[in-house]
Amino acid sequence: MAEQLNFEQMIEESMKNINIKETIEGTIININKKGEIIIDIGYKADGIIPKDEYSYNEFADPSKELKIGDKIKAEVIKMNDGEGNVLLSTKRYKMKEAQKELEEKFKNNEILEEKITGITDKGFIIAKEGYNIFIPISLSGLTRNENIKDYKDRIVKFKLIECTFRPRRIIGSIKAVSDEQKNKMVDEFWKEAEVGKKYKGKVTSISTYGAFVDLGVVQGLLHISEITWNRNTPPNEILKIGQEIEVIAIDVDKENRRIKLSYAGKGPDPWKSVEGKYNINDIVTVKVVKLMPFGAFVELEPGIEGLVHLSQICERKIAKPEDELRIGQKVNAKVIDLDLENKKIELSIRELENTSNEYKE
């Protein structure tokens, strides 16, 4: 009899002691039709996890997610469920672990990756083991062209910008992650940017003085003089918004983060072939391309323009070029000055006025 008592005492002593709210680990020995999980916890009684204590996800099915022999952790919520089992909860254990994770991620400014489980008119909701993380629309990174409803069930990366549990307030920001990634890309761009480097970009806006080109992470300026050699051709006749083009960096200001570009489709500089082609006193046929208060710009050939000053248009005194010329008109003119280094040619129509050289196209 004494030996039997000693044996029972040894068994009793070999069993671990457990307490309410303690986290224990056991081995699944059965999952019944009710969805209850029976666990061997190395105690004198088995542990049981009711289906409603398994997960905060009401659609979770333990029979599909677990199998006999799996190890599982749970929190002790009652020493006796009325039928001799130790009542356990995995969802309470997971909630504690989720709180630890959220506090750690917030403290270390780390990125989380979770699925959006709900959408309201104010933003996204991410349910995480009993906690709701709220991401306001202003921090969602949502663009004007996106539909907020399309984000349902999408896995997103975000950071916590607020994380308290009493009172409970957990706020996330997708924008914080995207901004951080963009800043890294911008820093990398400027680190590698250099004059002469080629880029592929997209035209985002066009004005009278040029265009802006999106290079992916920064915008570059494409001045009209770097779009075409013909200074009187409007940029919108050459480029269109949304057009993808190849450009070349011609000036890089890393300190102020500005980059000036040249359109690769501009072609070779026509002025390089001008030397020896035109000389002072040459008579050439030109086309009027632009009228200004001080005179008229005329085209000698594509990309090569010259100026006929107001005083060189005709013998009689005129108030403005329009009094004598019109856009598109062709006239003969005499080269009176050449400054190839500064790409300037001056011409005179007045000196040929007595030769009756003007004609219409």
Give all domains of the chain, ordered by start, each with its CATH number.
Answer: 41-94 (no CATH), 109-177 (2.40.50.140), 193-266 (2.40.50.140), 271-355 (2.40.50.140)
Contact between residue 74 and residue 89 where contact means Cβ atoms under 8 Å apart: yes
Residue 267: pLDDT band (50, 70, 90) is confident
- pLDDT value, residue 271: 86
Residue 232 has pLDDT above 90, yes or no: no
Q: How far apart are CA 151 and CA 147, in angstroms?
A: 8
Q: What is the mean pLDDT of residues 41-56?
A: 93
Q: What is the mean pLDDT of the chain?
A: 90
- pLDDT value, residue 234: 86
pLDDT in tens, 303-314: 899 999 999 999
- Identify the residue with better confidence: 36 or 16: 36
- pLDDT value, residue 250: 95
- pLDDT value, residue 6: 57
- pLDDT value, residue 274: 83
- pLDDT value, residue 341: 87
Least confident of 24-33, 129-138, 196-205, 350-359: 350-359
Each residue of 54-71: b (16+ CB within 10 Å) or e?
bbeeeeeebeeebeeeee
Q: What is the mean pLDDT of residues 50-74?
A: 92
Residue 266 has pLDDT above 90, yes or no: no
Residue 21 has pLDDT above 50, yes or no: yes
- pLDDT value, residue 302: 86
- pLDDT value, residue 14: 47
Residue 283 has pLDDT above 70, yes or no: yes
- pLDDT value, residue 345: 94
- pLDDT value, residue 16: 63
pLDDT in tens, 72-100: 999 999 998 888 899 999 999 999 999 99
The model carries a pTM of: 0.62
Q: How far apart are CA 202 and CA 245, in angstroms?
A: 6
> Exposed/middle/buried for 155, CB within 10 Å: 0-12, 13-18, 19+?
exposed
Residue 91 is inside which H or E element, if any? helix 90-107
Residue 277 DSSP class: T
Residue 357: pLDDT band (50, 70, 90) is very low
Share of the chain above pLDDT 90, in %: 75
Residue 186: pLDDT band (50, 70, 90) is very high
- pLDDT value, residue 247: 96
Residue 9: pLDDT band (50, 70, 90) is low
Contact between residue 227 and residue 245 where contact means Cβ atoms under 8 Å apart: no
